[in-house]
Structure 1
Amino acid sequence: MVSIQVNFGVKVRELRQKKCMSQEYFADLCGLHRTYISDVELGKRNISIENIQKVALALEISISDLFYEVEKNETI
């Protein structure tokens, strides 16, 4: 079973790429460092709720919708 951190990171990367955003640009929108975003996308970071909110805002998605998308990936 893949961890929630990995599933979350995969979904963040997928949604970011759908919006044609580089990690650098996305990190700037989030107010976070690019290497932090990279670690999140690779499932290496246990991201805080505050940073989840920043990610969701930058992706223009609600936190609940973001987690819904993550959960959809877990069932595949």
Structure 2
Amino acid sequence: MKTRIQEFRKANKISQAELADAVEVTRQTIISLEKGRYNASLELAHKIAHFFGKTIEEIFLFEE
């Protein structure tokens, strides 16, 4: 699964650490999400989408 986390984070001038603190995960988790090495739980996906004021589908790109 691809994500647009990095794109939204940079557009809002938010650091990985700031996003991690806001959604209550480690910076390493954000790095892994951005690189596609980790798939977010539904709860985490919801927190990230809510943080950016977007839908889960706008942040996380599901591929067949």
- CA RMSD in angstroms comes to 1.7
Matched with 1:63 is 56
Distance 1:64 1:41 in 2: 15
Give 2:47's match in structure 1, choosing from 49, 54, 62.
Answer: 54
Q: What's the TM-score once normalised by structure 1's chain length?
A: 0.71
Q: Give aligned-pair identity as a percent.
A: 29
Question: TM-score when scaled to structure 2?
Answer: 0.83
Corresponding letter in the other structure for 1:36 = T
Q: Pick the structure with more strand per residue.
A: 2
Structure 1: tracts of 5 or more residues without a match: none
The residue identity in structure 2 corresponding to 1:49 is L
CA distance in 2, matches of 1:19, 1:66: 14
Dislocated runs of 4+, deviation >6 Å? none
Count of residues paired in the alignment:
63
| Residue of structure 1 equivalent to 2:31 | 38
Shift of 1:66: 2.9
Q: Return the offset for 1:32.
A: 1.1
- Unaligned residue ranges in structure 2 (runs of 5+): none
